Amino acid sequence: MRITPPASPITPSPHASTSTSPPRPALPSAAPREARPLRPGRREWICRATGPDPALQRRAPRPSAHPVIGSRPMQTTIGLAEVSELEQAFARFNELTSILMGDFSHALAAYSEDRASQVRRRAVVLAAAALFEGTAYALKQNALAWAEAIRMKLSLAEQALLRDEAYSLDRQGRPATDTKKFLSTAANLRFAFDTFAKVLGSSFRLVVAGPGWQSFRRLIEVRHRLAHPKAAAALEISEKDYDDFDAGFEWFITQYKTLLNETSAGIERLRGSR
């Protein structure tokens, strides 16, 4: 079968080089990628990216330097200066998910040549898990950037989670930032998708009622088992595990495409007419 996974939620404008005004983020587009079955009766994915995938990472300043998002009136459009800043940030960090998608495609292509190999099965699952986590991070950073640009009111908790930060006290009783706090992959993905949609004015919510979400959760459990093995048997990926990989990955791609389709209007509205 063939599918068209989503491209970057924000990509550089194709007309940026000829425009006399600063570049603007383009609407989400679905760059064609391919998926083909690797064996009868089973859907397995081979994705070929035709362009970079989304990633946005802003270097987080110290907690005292963070702006309080929403402390100024919210804007319904963003100016050229904000557009230019967003465009530059997206251009700097689009590389992340492009690399992750390339790793996943390479691992899956290698597995198609030796489907009995446990080594190659593990490589596919681990590469997919890295893609999930990288995409969640990119969506969170995109949401943070847009919220700052339009001065949208976000709670302090939302801001900290978007920055992957937690706070505690050091031995001298001074506030300290912890950027190593572990977040559940499934919960983090839900927060990333839903917050990105919220900032862009979409009612999208991740569909978590159904077999696809359950397969995705089991896939993440397999990933954790591989990353933290306690016995040799923990490294084995069964046919059932791989069934969950197929269904879980399809669910992820479907949700991602839906998110981008449903937030495109919000991006256009915030850009306004220039």
> If you write DSSP's letter for every residue of 162-191 in order, what string do you get?
HTT-EEEE-TTS-EEEES-----HHHHHHH
pTM, full prediction: 0.70
Q: What is the rounded distance in angstroms from the CA atom of residue 155 to the CA atom of residue 158?
A: 5
Q: What is the rounded distance in angstroms from the CA atom of residue 18 to the CA atom of residue 13?
A: 10
Phi first, then psi: what are they for 38, rounded to 5°?
-100, -15
Q: What is the rounded distance in angstroms from the CA atom of residue 215 to the CA atom of residue 5?
A: 19
Task: With CA atoms as reference, report the closest residue to 152 among 65, 90, 76.
Answer: 76
Tokens of 14: 């194709």
Model confidence over 212-247: pLDDT tens digits?
999 999 999 999 999 999 999 999 999 999 999 999
Amino acid letter, 243: D
- pLDDT of the residue at 263: 85
Cα 270 off chain centre by: 21
Provide the residue-wise pLDDT of the chain in tens; the chain has 274 residues: 333 344 444 333 333 333 333 333 333 333 334 444 344 344 444 333 333 344 433 433 344 344 445 444 555 556 666 666 676 656 656 678 889 999 999 999 999 999 999 999 999 999 999 999 999 998 998 888 888 888 888 999 999 999 988 888 878 888 888 766 778 899 999 999 999 999 888 889 999 999 999 999 999 999 999 999 999 999 999 999 999 999 999 999 999 999 988 888 777 766 664 4
- pLDDT of the residue at 272: 60
Task: With CA atoms as reference, report the closest residue to 190 among 219, 223, 161.
Answer: 161
Tokens of 236: 């084995």
Dihedral sign, Cα of residue 146, residue 150, residue 151, residue 155: negative
Cα 66 off chain centre by: 23
The upper half-sphere exposure of residue 218, i.e. CA atoms within 13 Å in the direction of its Cβ, equals 18
- pLDDT of the residue at 259: 92
- pLDDT of the residue at 77: 58
Q: What is the rounded distance in angstroms from the CA atom of residue 93 to the CA atom of residue 96?
A: 6
Q: What is the rounded distance in angstroms from the CA atom of residue 65 to the CA atom of residue 163?
A: 13
250 near 216, Cβ under 8 Å? no
Phi first, then psi: what are they for 15, rounded to 5°?
-105, 10
Amino acid letter, 161: L
Phi first, then psi: what are they for 103, rounded to 5°?
-60, -45
Helix and strand numbers, DSSP H then E, in the chain: 7, 4
